[in-house]
Amino acid sequence: MNIVLLGAPGAGKGTQGQKLVEDFGFAHISTGDLLRAAVKAGSELGIKAKSYMESGQLVPDQLVIDLVKERLDSDDAQKGFILDGFPRTTSQAVSLDAILRDLGIKLDGVINIAVPDEELIKRTTGRQICRSCGATYHVTFKPSKVKNVCDKCGGELYQRDDDKVETVKKRLSVYAAQTKPLIDYYKNSNLYIEIDGKQSMEDVYKDIVASLEKSK
């Protein structure tokens, strides 16, 4: 199976992707991981990417597309893959279609884990981290026994700036603006599958697996 996995920050995309990899042996292809690996390996594409990253610029689409193409052509990706974080835009989706055509690969599904913004805000802004040991908590879903105190080491729990309400709202707004045209693009194919992300992690996973079975 070859799938694209979509989901806003806080939708649980990373957790579901990891479980699919563990259970089915798919290659997990994340553009962030690809860029870091290419830079570390000092490959031709990695050297180009590094120059942009070090100067604080966004890595150009074409360079990311070249990295994705190289990765999709590797042996383990022939057994099935999950694309995580790519495509992000309609132009990237068009480029992905061209790559898949060139490589003779068929995309089986585009899975979007859909969660309302208010739920995403609740999930993300409730996160707390221990300053001392890095343990993570959530004020609603996984609270510490004593407020703002780590159960493991007694350290102080704090909220990252990234998890503050205004920052999260801005991130979700950017994601929605970028992703809506992409979702519309895939809705025009028979590949789009929307999963109710408000459910428990276990039920979301069951729905993803069931939808993949149907699309075979």
Q: pLDDT tens digits, residue range 39-76?
A: 999 999 999 999 988 887 878 889 999 999 999 999 99
For position 101, what pLDDT does the model report?
A: 96
HSE value, Cβ hemisphere, 13 Å, CA-based, for 180: 5
| CATH fold for the domain made of 2-26+80-116+166-215 | Rossmann fold (3.40.50)
Q: What angle, rounded to 10 degrees, do the helices at 90-103 and 165-187 form?
A: 50
What pLDDT sits at residue 162?
A: 83
pLDDT at 125 over 80: yes
Catalytic residue among 13, 48, 71, 123: 13
Query: 3-class SS at 108?
Result: coil
Query: Is 127 assigned a catalytic role?
Result: yes
Tell which wins on pLDDT, 39 or 216: 39
Tokens representing residue 212 in the block:
């993949």
Domain coordinates of the chain in residue numbers? 2-26+80-116+166-215
Quick check: is 123 catalytic? no
Q: CB-based contacts of 64: which residues, under 8 Å, 6+ apart?
A: 31, 34, 35, 86, 92
* Residue 10 banded pLDDT, cuts 50, 70, 90: confident
At residue 159, the pLDDT reads 94
Structure-block tokens of residue 40: 């570390």
CB-CB contact of 191 with 2 (8 Å): no
Q: CA–CA separation, 216 vs 214, rounded Å?
A: 6
Whether 180 is catalytic: no
Q: How many CB atoms lie within 10 A of CB 41?
A: 11
Task: Report the pLDDT value the prediction gives residue 23, as an integer from 0 to 100.
Answer: 94
**Parallel, antiparallel or unpaired: strands 2-7 and 81-84:** parallel
88 tagged catalytic: yes
